[in-house]
Structure 1
Amino acid sequence: MSTGTITDPAPLDAADPLAAHRDLFVGAETPLVYFDGNSLGRPLRVTGPRLAAFVEQEWGGRLIRGWDERWFELPLTLGDRLGRACLGAAAGQTAIADSTTVLLYKTIRAALAARPGRTEIVLDRDQFPTDRYVAAGIAEETGATLRWIEVDTSAGVTPELLAEVVGEQTAVVLLNHVAYRSAWLADAPALTRIAHDAGALVIWDLCHSAGVVPVELDAWDVDLAVGCSYKYLNGGPGAPAFVYAAARLQDELRQPLQGWMGAADPFTMGPSYEPAPGMRRWLSGTPAVVGMLALEDMVDLLGEVGVEAVRAKSVGLTAYAAEVAAELLPEVAPASPTDPERRGGHLTLSHPAMREVTAALWRRDVIPDYRDPHGLRIGLSPLSTSYAEVRAGLDAVREVLDEVTA
């Protein structure tokens, strides 16, 4: 039970320079507590009218002319805007396409082929399941070997751990920038250097960092990166993903899913495939234009606010959540880094009853998610979450934990 020393959220919200942006999101005005913005972000209010206008005007009015007027280039123009807003990527290196799973397949296969004679794909045991599953499938297809980094599930990959496993057979190093379970924020520049020193290419999965943690792909000398757009980028369920390929590698890398949209001259419909120059070669089929509209709105907002300001609010929210949890939930163990410099935008709390607690919270319109082992994961999307919401949600966790353990 609280001793009354927890910081009052009201002054924190009053002093928050981003507080007014909360009103831009659908549902933020309701009493529902949303602790899952790291899995599916709330929609922006402008997106509904934008979708309606698209149906009536661009799709319904311009019809197939829309391809010539905007849609054909949208995966690349929006990719450039996303790269500028939150990826630290100069123009001509980011494209919107496919899903994270498909882009992981494309990038791993391309990187593996670019390192002939090397047979190992390095990744960690606690990596997001899709990363592990795709890598395992590629290993079966190609005869490559998976080389595992053993990690603490409440932490993540350190430079020391990576240095122990890379070597002359390492072709590809695949890493999560923010660990999906613990929120461990990897030292991307250091880990990239270690991979390069071993002669390998590195692929960063940015799904849990894009839009909430500053990323500097060019400055870090990253080779390839992928990420989704429906978490902190608020693109909506199933919104298309993004891929980054460093300009210095684009002529060398060939992704394996050769489709008409990535061909050098898509409308020739010729007898053989020749990849387009630049990032267009990473496209395969017809892009999901409707699926990019909500992402356009969020990229506009990020460009206005700045990802550094979003990160500052994120650190404040997770620090406050950790403070409240330590006071209200003394029997619960933190399963995330305590140092905000090593923590992304979510916080995981561990207790044997958390699966039951999560289910009960959902029935009360308090929405975290659950991750084994025993983890209640609190995802705090900075632009749509208030400090008062954090306190209300953790008060509910206290009440429900008492109920299920009584």
Structure 2
Amino acid sequence: MTDTRDAATIEHSLLDLADALDAADPLHAHLDAFADAPGVSAYLDGNSLGRPLKDTPEKLAAFVRDDWGTRLIRSWDEQWMVLPMELGDRIGRVTLGAAEGQTVVADSTSVLIYKLMRAALRHAQETSGTRTELVIESGNFPTDRFMAEGVAAETGMTVRWIEPDPVLGVQISDVVAAISERTALVSLSHVDYRSGALADMPGITTAAHEVGALMMWDLCHSAGVVPMQLDAWGVDMAVGCTYKYLNGGPGSPAFAYLRREHQGVLRQPIQGWWSAADIFAMGPQYAPAGDIRQLLSGTPPITSMLAMQGMLDLIEQASIEAIREKSLSLTDFAVRAYDEMLAPLGVRLLSTRDAALRGSHVTIGHPDFRAVTQRLWSDGIIPDFRYPDGIRLGLSPLSTSYAETLTGVLAVRDALESHDR
């Protein structure tokens, strides 16, 4: 049926709907926990860098004043030595469906991906002469692809590429077609960084295990916004960053999950003193720890672990299930606003319409979006641009309102119309 309403009526209807959804949002009060951003009227890039909490400056000041400034080196014995494991356990419990002793915070995403990939392929070489392939998606985030190629070159393995649908992402059938008894490791992203497509983690993990391969997941675009059960679903290993939906700040360290049965069996390649069985023995030979601490290498970045702790408090208060419910609703609302405001201008929807099959961002495309993004940023509307012509609307449920989402979509419309004149 043709919509005969004029543009002003449609916009007014969307504004009313956004106000009603915000009024009914059970998580709406959490918006006040985040720091104000003067000059920014819509921040739609929480899937790249989460906003800081209002109390973060005071927490950092207290750390400098007390834990560091007063307790000084005593804080290592009092709290810092165990923080990578304790914080990892908390991330595992609150967001990953992982029991304690299997998650650790350390290093960058890139370094942890390298450690786990290298450990998995080394184990395959030591235990099997036939497992010679690493399976990964050709459109995966550059870090994952570059690491896969580098680790394959180091180990003499072959990379087998999956070519999925760009909107729907990797399906179980894509994986089944690529894996075999030659597969050592399958490495995929839970949420596609481009389209937001959500992979079937339990189904794909089971498929990998059926041919005897290990399964590794990149959780950068799902940790903190999509519920998961790493233990129950049999995931072997996973890596995720903490500066997106965990709001740890720019460059905050990543986390790694290694299933308990693989600890002491898989051996990561960067043998630093923090992963030694006796960290203060200072002995002549390296012997790795037998628990999750084996994934550490050098001294962990304690200061960079502070900000995310407040966000974990919020996630635990709200519950990851409630956050997912709002994410589904927010992205549905963004798609509706796209249909009514942007589709008539020739903008393409580059994400699936099925909310259950996407993460917490919606991607739209238009040939003029690179220039449009520059205009939006100068006007205080902050989505992000992804080559060649996509804008991602990243909707972080605890810090993003429906009204803010609509403000962003309307600004895209206005900037695009202005650009076309």
- Compare 223-232 and 388-397 and name the one that shifted more: 388-397
Aligned to 1:34: 43
Equivalents in 2 of 1:31, 1:109: separation in Å? 42
Does structure 1 residue 318 correspond to structure 2 residue 331? Answer: yes
Say what the alpha-carbon RMSD is for the aligned residues.
Answer: 1.1
1:313-345 deviations in whole A, cap 9, x for unaligned? Answer: 111111000000110012211101110110100
State which of 178, 198, 202 in structure 1 corresponds to 2:215: 202
Q: Flag the 1:20–1:28 CA change in 2: closer, same or farther, 3 A.
A: farther
- 2:49 aligned partner, one-letter code: L
Aligned to 1:164: 177
Does structure 1 residue 213 correspond to structure 2 residue 191? Answer: no
Aligned to 2:23: 14
State which of 241, 255, 259 in structure 2 corresponds to 1:242: 255
- 2:388 aligned partner, one-letter code: P
TM-score by length of 2: 0.95
1:373 is displaced (CA, Å) by 2.9
State which of 130, 143, 148 in structure 2 corresponds to 1:130: 143
- 1:400 aligned partner, one-letter code: A
Does structure 1 residue 141 correspond to structure 2 residue 154? Answer: yes
Equivalents in 1 of 2:215, 2:59: separation in Å? 37
Equivalents in 2 of 1:168, 1:355: separation in Å? 44
Equivalents in 1 of 2:112, 2:9: separation in Å? 49
Conservation of the 8 A alpha-carbon contact between 2:40 and 2:382: no
1:112-155 deviations in whole A, cap 9, x for unaligned? Answer: 11212211110011101100001111111111110000112222
1:61-140 pair list within 5 angstroms: 61-116=70-125, 117=129, 118-140=131-153
Aligned to 1:395: 410
Equivalents in 1 of 2:189, 2:8: separation in Å? 36
- 2:206 aligned partner, one-letter code: R
Equivalents in 1 of 2:162, 2:47: separation in Å? 25
1:19-38 deviations in whole A, cap 9, x for unaligned? Answer: 01001001268652101000
1:162-201 pair list within 5 angstroms: 162-201=175-214
1:53-64 pair list within 5 angstroms: 53-64=62-73
1:184-215 deviations in whole A, cap 9, x for unaligned? Answer: 00000000011111111011000000000001
Does structure 1 residue 353 correspond to structure 2 residue 362? Answer: no
1:71 is displaced (CA, Å) by 0.1
Aligned to 1:155: 168
Aligned to 2:238: 225
Conservation of the 8 A alpha-carbon contact between 1:28 and 1:384: no
- 1:327 aligned partner, one-letter code: E
1:305 is displaced (CA, Å) by 1.2
Equivalent position SS for 1:344: coil
Q: Flag the 1:3–1:352 CA change in 2: closer, same or farther, 3 A.
A: farther
1:2 is displaced (CA, Å) by 5.4
Conservation of the 8 A alpha-carbon contact between 1:368 and 1:377: yes
Does structure 1 residue 368 correspond to structure 2 residue 379? Answer: no
Equivalents in 1 of 2:297, 2:23: separation in Å? 48
Aligned to 2:399: 384
1:279-324 deviations in whole A, cap 9, x for unaligned? Answer: 0000000000000001111112211111001111111111000000
Q: Which ranges in structure 1 are unaligned for 5 or more consecutive residues?
A: none
Conservation of the 8 A alpha-carbon contact between 1:153 and 1:182: yes
1:206-234 deviations in whole A, cap 9, x for unaligned? Answer: 00000000011001100000000000000
Equivalents in 1 of 2:220, 2:260: separation in Å? 22
Aligned to 2:4: none
1:372 is displaced (CA, Å) by 2.1
Conservation of the 8 A alpha-carbon contact between 1:121 and 1:170: yes
Conservation of the 8 A alpha-carbon contact between 2:40 and 2:381: no
